Amino acid sequence: MRFGGLLYGYRFRQTELGGLIRTHMDGDLATIQRVHRSMSSTLLWLTLLFFFLLLSFSLNLEGVLSQVGTLISVLTLAAGMTIYYGFSRRKMWAYRLALVHWLFLILICSLITIIDLISGIQGNIMSAIMAVMLIFIIIGMVKRFTTFSNPLFMAWYIGQSTNILASSKLQSNEMMGACPHCLSILAVKPLELSGEDLCPNCGEKLVSDEVVSKFSGEEE
């Protein structure tokens, strides 16, 4: 059974890392490290910003609501800082959590932008300025989000830098893919993948049973 160009739903879009692989390997790795540091810093200061905004809102409440809001603020900060700590130190458990947290921060920034835009339209100049600044931040975060699914970045994150070099020697019918279970970077032939293909590192299926069932139904 063949599944065309589909690899368990992973479709790797190119980011600023995409064109760097063929030359100056040391410079390429330095660029990946710089991107990672930038993403880690963004997670840190936006997590702190969200904490202070949530805390300020909670302190304006009264009675039990204020206490509950403050507790939620502290728990949110603890969770965000834990994700930042793990991601900045390239911990495996933090990768997907950082991805989800990144999406969450985009959502929060978007909501704050809408509120500031409404306030700015009503004549609040500072809110209008904040809205414009947040729009640029959101655009940058959306663009940088594709880095999470970039196989070069993923290989570096989990310590498989040698696979980054190997990717420049792929055959014409091969592509870089990530095992959906252990995130190992593999050279695969997408047109020849089947439901029986296993990851050589963790032994799990490279194609999910759901995808197998879907395409089996379509072929019938």
Domain ranges of the chain: 20-149, 152-219
pLDDT at residue 29 above 60?
Answer: yes
* Residue 24 CB contacts under 8 Å (≥ 6 apart), including other chains: none
Most confident of 113-122, 152-161, 176-185, 206-215: 113-122
Its pTM stands at 0.64
Q: Is 198 helix (H, G, I), strand (E, B) or coil?
A: strand
* pLDDT band, residue 71 (cuts 50/70/90): very high
| Segment 161-202, tens digit of pLDDT | 555 555 555 566 766 666 776 656 666 777 777 778 888 777
pLDDT at residue 9 above 70?
Answer: no
| pLDDT at 45 (0 to 100) | 92
Tell me the two tokens of residue 153: 């970045």
pLDDT at residue 12 above 50?
Answer: no
Q: Give yes or no for a contact between 175 and 113, defined as CB atoms under 8 angstroms apart.
A: no
